[in-house]
Chain A
Amino acid sequence: MSDSLTTKFIEISGVEQTFKTRKGLFPALRDIHLTVAKGEFVALIGHSGCGKSTLLNLIAGLTTPTQGVLLCANREIAGPGPERAVVFQNDSLLPWLTCYENVYLAVERVFGAGSKTVGAPSENKAQLKARTDAALALVGLSAAALKRPGEISGGMKQRVGIARALAMEPKVLLMDEPFGALDALTRAKLQDELLEIVARTQSTVVMVTHDVDEAVLLSDKIVMMTNGPAATIGEILKVNLPRPRNRVLLAEDRQYVQYRKAVIDFLYTRQAHVEKTAA
């Protein structure tokens, strides 16, 4: 049981997602089979409109599949919950709360009085404050704790979003193109930070991305998806690069270049994007 849990922490079998639109039924995903092991970093990559965010939302429980089953730690995913924290594409911070309050809201829900966590006693205010401070310190934002999201840069906002997700100590961290809206330099910096944080916290991560380098640099497993409609998993690539990984050293690593080429080959040769499917 515990052995199957470590290799099949998230188990997706036969999942199909169809959306009702004005033009009738739109098949977004079909025949998805995927397992994610505990502590594994999985990247979902594909052209826009291929349903990778749809798949992430299914794992988050924000939507329910038309067919098939999703399991997390052997329990069916019936709805969203704090054990599967989501870092959204746009930071999704509440603009009327300070960075501290944004993180505290999550911490309070998971560890504070009235939390639904079974077995764990609810923590007092000092403990909750310590958790919040620790989460902000983890992403290097202690100094900006009392600022509102409108007063900090896009990269900082995204870091608060990550801090909020990590502070919940989730079983799974789900990230929907977390760095997509950032400039290349900020993105690289946050990727390095994320690598470090994930190594420290041993988190299980599923991340949607459209950036080949990001996928190869960060993940243990790259899930490449075919074009929609009715997208499915085209190929799964295991990335056996040793950790900790260094982007500068990897840039000339033969293995890294091969992984990179494999993903590019899949995306641009075999799944060359058909514009009409983009919507």
Chain B
Amino acid sequence: MVSAVFHGPFEAPTPSATVPAAAPSTSKSIAASDPTTPGSVPIDMKINAHGTPPAPAIDWRGAARDIWAAVLPPVMGLALLIGLWAIVSTVTKGSIPSPLDTGKQALDVFADPFYRKGPNDQGVGWNVLMSLERVAVGFGLAALVGIPAGFAIGRFHFLSRMLNPLISLLRPVSPLAWLPIGLLVFKGANPAAIWTIFICSIWPMIINTAVGVQRVPQDYMNVARVLNLSEWKILTKILFPSVLPYMLTGVRLAVGTAWLVIVAAEMLTGGVGIGFWVWDEWNNLNVKNIIIAIFVIGIVGLLLEYALVKIATAFTFEEVKS
């Protein structure tokens, strides 16, 4: 089954979490462990001799070091990417545009993201919004169907036995394989793209919700049985709160997949959307815009993920996490 645990990119070693432990907190250790600032030692001693606390002057240095330690690794990572990109650009003699050229182009693109010059020539802002709208509609429909289905499958063994083979069979199918069916049934590009999003985001939500329901501690269910709670009370007071973290994991996985799939789906269906934009710029042989689109897709995906991780942690209880 799908692992239903929170491990977002933002939960793994965040700088703010690791730095305080690593950064020396006392003035002495800074002075002793920092050979690049020999001047700090006499200053430190002088202040101490006057009996005033040495903390403020030294803490600025400490804070600067903290920020430096927090910022340096990601900056170096970004520098590595841009460096490699520049090398590839030189080796291919400019058929992959250089970071500088792309940056200049990006300034142009983002100067006016919401222009409209006909159906096939719109600003990058419109393209992103259209894609987000498709994801939202497809994903919303999937949540409406998938979460209740997950509850039912988790709660009733019979349903689980009945539907698990179907899920196992359909889940590995690439969502794009469903696109022609969508086109056939809905007779339109836009509903077909939404249908593709629907089909790809429903599985993680069904599976995670069902797993969450199955993993509700037996103790809680025993409490429900002893109190003879109604099915509605069981759902609202016991099942829903304890399943919520699993459900939100499913939602997160679903949104991630949906954002991956929308680009491919739009390339095939056309219209307005970030995927279509990539394909259109390819047809125009405007590689700079393709690279810009890659960055835009990445950043939007990152923001979606970040928002959902935040929501998930806000709704998770300590007891449930452990």
Contact = CB atoms under 8 A, between A and B. Distances in A.
A binds B: yes
A90 interface: yes
Interface string B287-322: 000000000000000000000000000000111100
A79 B224 CA distance: 12
A112 to B, nearest CB: 11
Interface in B226-248: 226-230, 233, 237-238, 241-242
Given A94-B220, A94-B237, A105-B237, A62 B318 contact: no
B226 A82 contact: yes
B222 interface: yes
Interface size class of A (residues with CB under 8 A): 20 to 34
A109 interface: yes
Given A86-B222, A88-B222, A149-B319, A94 B241 contact: yes
Given A86-B222, A105-B237, A95 B228 contact: no
Contact of B227 (A62, A106, A148, A149): A106
B226 A95 contact: no
B219 A90 contact: yes
Given A109-B233, A114-B230, A95 B318 contact: yes
A62 B222 contact: yes
B226 A84 contact: yes
A94 B223 CA distance: 9
A4 to B, nearest CB: 27
Given A62-B225, A81-B226, A84-B226, A92 B219 contact: yes
A105 B223 CA distance: 10
Nearest to A84: B226
A152 to B, nearest CB: 12
A96 B241 contact: yes
Interface string A81-125: 110111010101011110000000110011000101000000000
A105 B224 CA distance: 10
Contacts of B233: 105, 109
A90 B220 CA distance: 11
Nearest to B225: A80
Contacts of A168: 227
A92 B223 contact: yes
A84 B242 CA distance: 26
A132 to B, nearest CB: 14
Contacts of A62: 222, 225-226
Nearest to A81: B228
A55 B222 CA distance: 15
Given A94-B241, A150-B319, A109 B222 contact: no
Nearest to A88: B219
Interface in B188-239: 219-220, 222-223, 225-230, 233, 237-238
Contacts of B227: 82, 105-106, 109-110, 168
A225 interface: no
A180 to B, nearest CB: 14
A249 B113 CA distance: 85
A82 B228 contact: yes
A63 to B, nearest CB: 11
Interface string A133-153: 000000000000000111000
Among the interface residues A62, A85, A94, which one has the most CB atoms of the partner chain B within 10 A? Answer: A94
A45 interface: no
A92 B318 contact: no
A110 to B, nearest CB: 8
Given A106-B227, A109-B229, A149-B319, A92 B237 contact: no
Nearest to A93: B223
A267 interface: no
A69 B233 CA distance: 31
Contacts of B319: 95, 149-150
Contacts of B228: 80-82, 109, 116
Given A60-B226, A86-B226, A105-B227, A94 B318 contact: no
B222 A92 contact: yes
A88 B223 CA distance: 9
Nearest to A150: B318
Interface string A142-183: 000000111000000000000000001000000000000000
A114 B227 CA distance: 13
A58 to B, nearest CB: 13
A149 B319 CA distance: 9
A60 B230 CA distance: 18
Contacts of A149: 319
B226 A85 contact: yes
A148 B317 CA distance: 10
A236 to B, nearest CB: 26
Interface in B21-38: none
Contacts of B220: 92, 94
A82 B226 CA distance: 6
B293 to A, nearest CB: 43
A84 B238 CA distance: 21
A82 B227 CA distance: 5
Given A82-B227, A92-B220, A94-B238, 14 more contacts: A62-B222, A81-B226, A86-B222, A86-B226, A88-B222, A90-B219, A94-B241, A97-B237, A105-B227, A109-B229, A109-B233, A110-B227, A148-B317, A149-B319
5 contacts: A60-B226, A94-B223, A95-B320, A105-B229, A109-B228
Closest 5 CB pairs of A and B: A95-B319, A96-B241, A92-B219, A80-B225, A80-B226
